[in-house]
Structure formats: structure tokens, C-alpha cells
Amino acid sequence: MITRDDVLAAQQRIHGRRVRRTPGIAVDPGTSNLWLKCEFLQLAGVFKTRGAFNRILAGLETRTLDPARGIVTASGGNAGLANAYAAAQVGVPATVFVPETAPAVKVARLRKYGAAVQQVGREYAEAYAAAIEFSDHAGALFCHAYDQPEIAAGAGTIGEEILTDIPDVDTIVVAVGGGGLFAGIAAAAGGRARVVAVEPVLIPTLHAALQGRAARRHPRLWSRRRRPRRETHRQHRLQRRPAHRPRQRPRRRRRHHHRPLSPVAELPHGGRARRRRRVRRTHQRRLPARTR
């Protein structure tokens, strides 16, 4: 578990030289006490830059990071960008594992930061496993997206800044993914403010973790996750129909399986007239000739 001291140590390490001190702005000055922390203005555009710098610089201090072997991470998102950026600034090589389905724009940006990008597997878990294996074999320092003390403490410097800028803040609301940002800010607050974690209903990982179980994929995510993210609905429908079986028109239902019974005679339509003729013929045969 990290404490406020870890956050203060991270602040010493990264502030000024490595990351921006982002502004907190009042949403509606004078009428509301709601503030926003503008972390989108952070270097590389993501708050994860704080944790990435803290992990890399701490690694150099403790010699757990060999500058020749560099760092490795698994993320096609913000953590990948942050680590690639921080490694380039510090001057160590970075290898980033992403799934094959990672958006091309993200891969291009990682390469722009000088990272070696490895695309492995269709799901994040496969890219993650490959990154761990790479770390073991190549001796690169693994930088997790959220689950390491230095990463969480680095993110926690946001909480320190909030409490310095707005000392009487009573509640800090934090978006949760893996929980690193929340853990860091809660450590920084150290009881000085209430810290509220907010997570998506469909991916309740923190709730699951607090209940001591792994998060289960929400049923509403099942069908979407089965196909690659970039595939359109139309492509999906076309794929489901095998090429050798062209679309067939729906067969018209046969109107009547058998001829319906006439409601009057309980005979098939057309049978009633036939029956009348037959009856007439029989009567004619039986009646005496003079009455015909």
C-alpha cells in the first residue's frame, strides 16, 4: 500500500523538470464550488505521464532499470503513450506491446515517440502476456498501466496539487479504470478530503476487486467484444453469411397446405357441387319416370 510519503517522493522526482503542473479551473466562478483539474494539458496529453516518469526515474535510482535494456509496457492506450514519451525524454529504449486490433493512429503515435511497437494477439491479455515474457527475457523494466506503487504514487501527485490549490476541497471525484489514479489520489489526500471513485456500470472492476472476485464481463459487452472493434455492423453481417451460400429470398409460405373445408357441407370446396350432382343423379334413378 502506498502512503502520502510515496506521493511526495514522486512529486520531488518528477515535478518541474518532467511534468506539467496542470491548472484547476472553477466551472462557474462565483456561483458554484465545482472545479475541474485540466489533466488533458499534461505532457503527452495523459495523466499517466506522471506515473511513467516516476517509475522510470525510480528505476534508474534503484538500478532496477538498465538504461541499455530500457522499459516495456502493454497498452494500446494512454499508458503506452505515457511510457513511450517518458522513456524518450529520459533517453532509454521503450518497447510497447499492443493487440493487433489497436487503432492505427495510436500505433503511429507510439512510433512517433520512438517506441518499438509489437502487435500481438487479438485481445489485450495476449499483448500483456507477451510483454511480461519480453521483460523476463530481455531484462527490460516492466511498467504496468496502473498496478505498481511508483505508477500510482506518480498519479497521486494530481491529488497533492488539488489540495494545494484548493485547501478546503471536501470531495475529489476520480474516474477508475484499473485503480492506480484513485489509489494515488486517496494516498495523497490522506483523510484531508473525501475521495470518491466512479467507474463504468459495464466494467465494474473496482467493485469486483473490493468484493474479492474477478470482474465479470457484463452481458451487454459480450456480443460487441466477440468481433474486432473496427469492424462495422455491415461487415459483420456479411461475414456471417458464407460466400458460397448466396442470400436467398425468403421462401413464400404455401397459402394452404390442404384444401380447406367448405363451412356448409364440410366438404372440400368444389366438392359440394359435385355432391349435389351425384345426389341428383341418384334421385333421378330412384324416382318413377312420370315425376322426372
Ligand X SMILES: Cc1ncc(COP(=O)(O)O)c(C=O)c1O
Interacting residues with ligand X (CB under 6 A): 77-78, 146, 175-182
Report the DSSP pairing between strands 94-98 and 71-74: parallel
Burial grade of 118 (CB within 10 A; 0-12, 13-18, 19 or more): middle
Closer Cβ to ligand X, 177 or 204, answer by number: 177
Closer Cβ to ligand X, 77 or 204, answer by number: 77
- Quote the cell numbers at residue 209: 476487486
Distance CA 71, CA 83 (A): 8
Closer Cβ to ligand X, 1 or 289, answer by number: 1
CA-wise closest residue to 37 among 150, 199, 160, 123: 160
Q: Left, alpha or beta for 70 (phi > 0: left; psi -120 to 50: alpha)?
A: left
Closer Cβ to ligand X, 214 or 243, answer by number: 214
User: In angstroms, what is the minimal distance from the CB of 199 to ligand X?
Assistant: 8
Q: Where are the alpha helices (DSSP H) in 100-204?
A: 104-112, 124-138, 149-165, 180-189
Closer Cβ to ligand X, 3 or 262, answer by number: 3
Q: Cα-flanking dihedrals φ and ψ of residue 117, to 5°?
A: -100, 130
Closer Cβ to ligand X, 40 or 265, answer by number: 40
Strands (E), 184-268: 194-198
Q: Cα-flanking dihedrals φ and ψ of residue 80, to 5°?
A: -60, -45
How many residues would you count in the chain? Answer: 292
CB 78 within 8 A of CB 109: no
Closer Cβ to ligand X, 101 or 262, answer by number: 101
In the chain, the N- to C-terminal Cα span, in Å, equals 115
What's at 222, amino acid-wise?
W
Closer Cβ to ligand X, 38 or 175, answer by number: 175
Distance CA 40, CA 175 (A): 14
- Quote the cell numbers at residue 281: 343423379
User: In angstroms, what is the minimal distance from the CB of 41 to ligand X?
Assistant: 13
Burial grade of 82 (CB within 10 A; 0-12, 13-18, 19 or more): buried
